[in-house]
A and B are shown apart, each in its own frame.
Chain A
Amino acid sequence: MRLEYPANVKIIRVPCTGKVDVIHLLRALEKGADGACVIGCMEGSCYFKGGNYRARKRVEQAAKILDSIGVGGQRIRMYNLSSGEGTLFAQYANEFTEHIRALGPNPIKKAGKKAA
Chain B
Amino acid sequence: MIVAKQKPIDEIIKMVADCGKILVLGCNECVTVCEAGGKKEVGVLASALRMYFLNQGKEVVVDEHTLERQCDHEYLEEIRDIADKYDAILSLACGVGIQFTAEKYHDRPVYPGVNTCFLGATEQRGVWTERCQACGSCILAETGGICPVSRCAKRVMNGPCGGSSNGKCEISKDVDCAWQLIIDRLKALGRLEDYEKVMPLKDWSTDRAGGPRKVTKEEVMD
Contacts and interface: CB of A to CB of B under 8 A. Distances in A.
A and B bind? yes
Interface of A: 21-23, 26-27, 29-30, 65-66, 68-71, 107-108, 111-112, 114-115
B209 interface: no
A30 B51 contact: yes
Contacts of B13: 69
B43 A115 contact: no
B153 interface: no
Binding site of A, secondary structure by majority: helix, strand, loop or mixed? helix
Chain B contact patch, size range? 10 to 19
B48 A69 contact: yes
A115 B48 contact: no
18 contacts: A23-B43, A23-B44, A23-B47, A26-B44, A27-B47, A29-B51, A30-B50, A66-B51, A68-B9, A68-B10, A68-B48, A69-B9, A69-B48, A69-B49, A69-B52, A71-B51, A107-B55, A108-B55
Interface of B: 8-10, 13, 40, 43-44, 47-52, 54-57, 59
Given A26-B48, A30-B50, A65-B48, A71 B55 contact: yes
A114 B57 contact: yes
Contacts of A108: 51, 54-55
A99 to B, nearest CB: 20
B54 A112 contact: yes
A21 B40 contact: yes
Nearest to A112: B54
Contacts of B54: 108, 111-112, 115
A73 to B, nearest CB: 12
A7 to B, nearest CB: 26
6 closest A-B pairs by CB: A69-B52, A26-B47, A68-B9, A23-B43, A111-B54, A108-B54
Contacts of A69: 9, 13, 48-49, 51-52, 55
A108 B57 CA distance: 9
A27 B40 CA distance: 13
A61 to B, nearest CB: 9
**Quick one: which of B8, B10, B51, B52 has the most chain A CB within 10 A?**
B51
